[in-house]
Each structure stands twice: as structure tokens, then as C-alpha cells.
Structure 1
Amino acid sequence: MTTTIADPTTPDSTSTGTPPKRKGKLPPGQRPLVMQPSSWFVWFGIAVFFIFLLGILIGVVVDSFGTQWFDSWLPEEITLGWYNNAWNRFGLANVLIVTLIVAAVVVAVSVVIGVPAAYLLARRSFPFKAAVSALFLLPIMIPPITYGIPLATVMYNLGLGRSLVAVILVNLVPSVPFVIMTMTPFIEQINPSLESAARMCGATTKTIFTRILGPLLIPGILAAAVLVLVRTVGMFELTYLVSGPQSDTLVVAIYRAMTSSGGGEARQLVSSMAVLYTTMMMIILIIALRFVNPTQLVGRVSEMRED
């Protein structure tokens, strides 16, 4: 009978408490990454989408800089004439100024009205609160054209049609509820005990809102402002119904350019204006993202939940 003596220097799985490793299997954290067929399908769809998107963008940019061509892939000559023609013909200097004014005023008024209203919905209980919240959702959920025509009729009856004031007012209708619906859950994440402690120390409502809630709400306010800014600059239906020659925004001016010109010239004029529109939106977003970082916003919400 042969007796096997274990080597004391060799670690035993029973003494260390770790289960023996099975051949052919790796721990969960060390398993090789294998692409499933469904993952390949998803990545293929994303690649196709970006290829089509990039192709459209390149086509519009080339069309805005090139002379008219029909039998070749690229135009024979590059020119800035379409931009000069569109700038002078459609008064794009005034259009850009109007667009920036409308966007700035709508964002400022929406924040001033929407943040206190969101605070009331988040902190106060009153009769028909659910119905009021549902009413705020209506301008966001239903198509703008459904309430835009009656709203435009009211503006024209009041003598505000085709004016800058009318453009600002109609854009406030969906923007204010958008800020309210964005800020309400953000305010609900803030611990109400902070406000109670401040009130016990003698702080007024104004002091609580400016000294305590204000710094905590800045990320949410900036995020809501950026979303309203993008929505206002790109809002076509409501703006088109009440705007005029001196109050058109850029997106409405592009539509008027497309319908007022004829032939291939209209296509390249519209392409040049579309490049200007895209460039302006990219500049606005780059400047806005310098102040709003989505990761910081998520981190701030997580910190408030922990508190």
C-alpha cells in the first residue's frame, strides 16, 4: 500500500478556500469577448446610418461650394458665389440676428418662469396637481401645428402677426413646459431637509432659493437651457405661422428660399443656407457644452440621491 505525502509548499484548494479551477473555463472577468450575431447586426446598422449621414452632409457641402454640374462626381469649379447670393438676396444678416435674439429671449424667459413653476410642482401639494402637470405635457407631446394655427389666429387678431414679439410668444408655449418638465424631477432629487434647516436658521424663501437651491440647480438649469435653445432655433411650424420678412428665423428663411427660387439655383442656394444653419447650430452647441457637461450633471444627481 502506497501513501502519498502532500508537499507543504504547494497550496491546497481546501486550505486556501478557493475552488479548484476547471479546465476549459475561465473566471467571469477573464472570459474572452465574443461578438454575437445580433451585435454584428447592430454595429452594421449603425455603420450604415453614419455612412448615409456623412454622404448627405458631404453632398450638401459640396453642392454649396460648387458650380452646377451634371455628368461628373465633383464640380469643375469651387465658388463662394452661392453664399454671397443667399446672403444678399435673403438678408441673412438680419435673419441671423433675429434668430439669436429669439433664441436668447425664449431661453431666458423660459428659465425665469419654468424653474419657480417646477419648484412648486416638486414641493407643494394642491388640488388638481396631476391635471396641471398633464396640461404642461400637452404642448410637448402633441404636434405644434395642431395648436399653432389657433395660436397664430389669436396673434393676428391682437395685431402681433409677422412681428418679433409674436415669434417669441409662440415659441414660449412649448419651451416653458419643457423647462418645467425637465426641472421638476431634478428638484425632487434635492433633499428637502436642506431647506428646512435653512428656515430654522431664519433664512427667507428668497435666500433659500438664491443661496442654497440656486447652486444645486445650476447644472439642471443649464441643461434645460441648452435643450430649449436647440429646440427654438430649429422650431419651424410655430415660427412660420406668425413670422414675416423682418422676423423670420434661419430655418424659416431656408424654407422661403426653397419655395421662392426655381431650378438648380434654388438647390444650391438652399444648400449654402443649410451649411450656415448647421454651422451656427454647431457653434451654439460647442459654446453651450463648455458650460454644461452631461457627466457632471449625472454625477450631481447621484450625489443628491446619496444625500
Structure 2
Amino acid sequence: MAAETAAPRRRSRLPGDRPLVASPSTWFVWAGVAAFFVFLAGIVVSVLVDSFGRGWFTTWLPEEFTTEWYASAWSEFGLAEVMWVTLVVAAVVVVVSVVVGVPAAYLLARRTFPGKRLVMLLFLLPIMMPPITYGIPLATVMYNMGLGRTLTAVILVNLVPAVPFVIMTMTPFIEQVNPDIERAARMSGARTTAVFTRILAPLLVPGILASSVLVLVRTVGLFELTFLVSGPGSDTLVVAIYRAMTASGGGEARQLISSMGVLYTLTMVVILVIALRFVNPTQLVAQVKETRED
């Protein structure tokens, strides 16, 4: 009896309890994540220091820091115009893809018709296939129509993957909205336009904003399609960086390319920060949960 009293009691583990000692696989995963961020930080810091450095060859840090590389890149490559073109292309592509993609996603989510699976497969192709596979024929069509090296061509080729991306993103989101809400509105006398704009649209705002952010980031960073049809006056920032790297057989100063890379990274970070002020991933999940409960 005394031995039983002295023996420590083992508490049964509850379903939510976690062991204090992590398993080897957990440590391996965390070590891989830490190594990834270390390498990523090293690359970013190296490019950032290089963009401000002068005479950086055999030392850990440059012998002198300067901002002249940014001024030279801004004036030599016309980055003011390049940045403006990038923002215009991104804004137009986002607006057009949402205006076209959301109604198309609604029809795919609410209607059943012969060949629906084939239509969905066709929308998947521009997203799943490498852009260069359909970019070359698409660029050939643009040049034959006289649109090569124009801003219009850049916008059109970026819409090819953007519109299907919005459709494929919004279709499952619309499917999770209870159709009884729309039926009740129609029984109350609301027309289809009023149902879509006043009832369905507010429920879809999180999904629309999320897809817009993804299209925006994708458009700013899309290189292949833009490069095939762009030219002077229609280059986006990512294409301008590539042209700077290959100009004069790669003879441009390395620091100029690094400064343009820093500007590109800052542009993407600013876009994401601004977008995340309007799009909260937790709100998107909560919205989907509410629609399921309804």
C-alpha cells in the first residue's frame, strides 16, 4: 500500500497535449526552414549592400557607400517611365480580370451545361502550362496585328493567365455561398442584377480582393509573356532589369543591376503591404466558414 502511494501517478495524455521533447523529424523541418531564411536573408543583404557599395572586391564590406548607382539607373534606364508602365499594366489587368472573371465564375458555379468540364480544363491550361509554350504563338499574333512592342499588347498578354486565374479562384468561393440566399431575394422581387450587386457581391468581397492581390503580384512579376511583346516605352520593371543585364553584352556595372533589383523588391513589398491592409487572410477564412454555416 505504501509502495503504491509513493509511486508517482501517471496522468493520461489528453488529445490536445503535446510532448515536451520534439521528434527528430520536427527538428529537421525547423532546421530546413531556418537554413532557408538564412540563405534568403544573405542574398537580400548581399544585393542591398552591393547596390550602395563601391570598390567591393576582397573585403567583407565595400570600401565606400554611395547612392549614385540608384541615380544612374534611374536616369540611364528611364525607371520613372518603367515604373509608371508597370503600375498601369498591373492596374488595368487587375480591373479587367475581375470584371470579366467574377461573372464568368458565377456562371460556372451556378450553371450546369454540356462541356462544363472541358471549359474548366481550358481555363486551367494558361495557369498550369509554362507561359513560354503559348507565349510565342501569342506574340506572333500580336506582331501580325501590329500590336507588337505596345502597351496594349503587354496588357492583353497579361490578361491571358490573369482572367482564368480569377475564374478558377472565385468559382469554388461562389459555390460555397448558399444559393438559398439568392432564391429568397428573387422571391422578394429582386432582379438578377440587384441580386448580384447588392447581395452576392458583398459576400464575395474577400475573395475578390484576395484574387486581385494575387493577380497584381503575378502581373508585376510576369516576365516571359511581357518580354515577348514589350519594347521601349512598354517594358515593365522585371523586363527592364533583364534588358539592363544583357545590355552591351552584360557590360553594365553590377551595382546598377543590384540597385534595380532592390527597387523591384521594394515595389513588390509596398504592393503587398498596401494590399494586406485591405485583405486579411483570416477574414477570408471566416467568410467561407459563415457561408458554409448559412
- The TM-score by the shorter chain falls in which range? over 0.9
Distance, in Å, in 2 between the alignment partners of 1:266 and 1:76 is 17
**Contact 1:257–1:266 (8 Å) recurs in 2:** no
4+ aligned runs moved over 4 Å, structure 1: 29-32, 261-265
Change (3 A) 1:127 1:32: closer
Q: Could you tell me which residue of structure 2 aligns to residue 87 of structure 1?
A: 74
1:37 aligns with 2:24: yes
The one of 9, 20, 23 equivalent to 2:9 is 23
Higher-Rg structure is 1
The one-letter code matched in structure 1 to 2:195 is I
In the alignment, is the contact (CA less than 8 A) between 1:222 and 1:291 conserved in 2?
Answer: yes
- Counterpart of 2:244, as a letter, is A
Residues of 2 paired with 1:140 and 1:263: CA distance? 32
Alignment of 1:154-193 (within 5 A): 154-193=141-180
2:218 aligned with 1:226: no
Contact 2:245 2:252 in 1 (8 A): no
CA distance in 2, matches of 1:129, 1:52: 45
> Which residues in structure 2 correspond to 1:63-102 (within 5 Å)?
63-102=50-89
CA distance in 2, matches of 1:150, 1:264: 32
Which segment drifts farther, 253-262 or 288-297? 253-262
Out of 247, 258, 270, the position equivalent to 2:245 is 258
Secondary structure, aligned partner of 1:70 = coil
Match of 1:151 in 2: 138
Q: What corresponds to 1:9 in structure 2?
A: none
The CA distance in 2 between the partners of 1:240 and 1:266, in whole Å, is 22
CA distance in 1, matches of 2:220, 2:249: 26
Q: Distance in 2 between matches of 1:43 and 1:213?
A: 42
For the residues of structure 1 that align with 2:277 and 2:95, how far apart are their CA atoms?
18
Alpha-carbon shift at residue 70 of structure 1 (Å): 1.1
SS, match of residue 71 in structure 1: coil
Cα distance in 2, alignment partners of residues 233 and 30 from structure 1: 45
Give the length in aligned residue pairs: 287
Deviations 1:116-141 (A, max 9, x none): 00000000011100000000000000
1:216-295 residue pairs with structure 2 within 5 A? Answer: 216-261=203-248, 265-295=252-282
Identity of aligned residues (%): 73
CA distance in 1 between partners of 2:54 and 2:10 (Å) = 65
1:260-302 deviation line (CA, Å, top 9, x unaligned): 0566753211100000000011111000000000000001000
**Partners of 2:250 and 2:79 in 1: how far apart?**
21
- 8 Å CA contact 2:244–2:252 kept in 1: the answer is no
- Corresponding residue for 1:18? none
Q: Contact conserved, 2:173 with 2:288, CA < 8 A, in 1?
A: yes
Report the TM-score, using the length of structure 1 for normalisation: 0.91
* Whole-angstrom distance in 1 between the partners of 2:13 and 2:122: 53
Unpaired stretches in structure 1, ≥5 consecutive residues: 1-20
Q: Using a 3 Å threshold, how does the CA distance of structure 1 residues 232 and 263 change in structure 2: closer, same or farther?
A: closer
Counterparts of 1:66 and 1:156, CA distance in 2: 42
Instruction: Give, as a single letter, the amino acid of the residue that structure 2 aligns with 1:116.
Output: P
Displacement after TM superposition at 1:69 (Å) = 1.7
Partners in 2 of 1:122 and 1:169 — Cα distance? Answer: 26
Match of 1:50 in 2: 37
Query: Once the 2 structures are TM-superposed, how far is the Cα of residue 27 of structure 1 from its aligned partner?
Result: 3.5
Paired residues of 1:226 and 1:288 also in contact (CA < 8 A): yes
Tell me the amino acid that sits aligned with residue 62 of structure 1: V
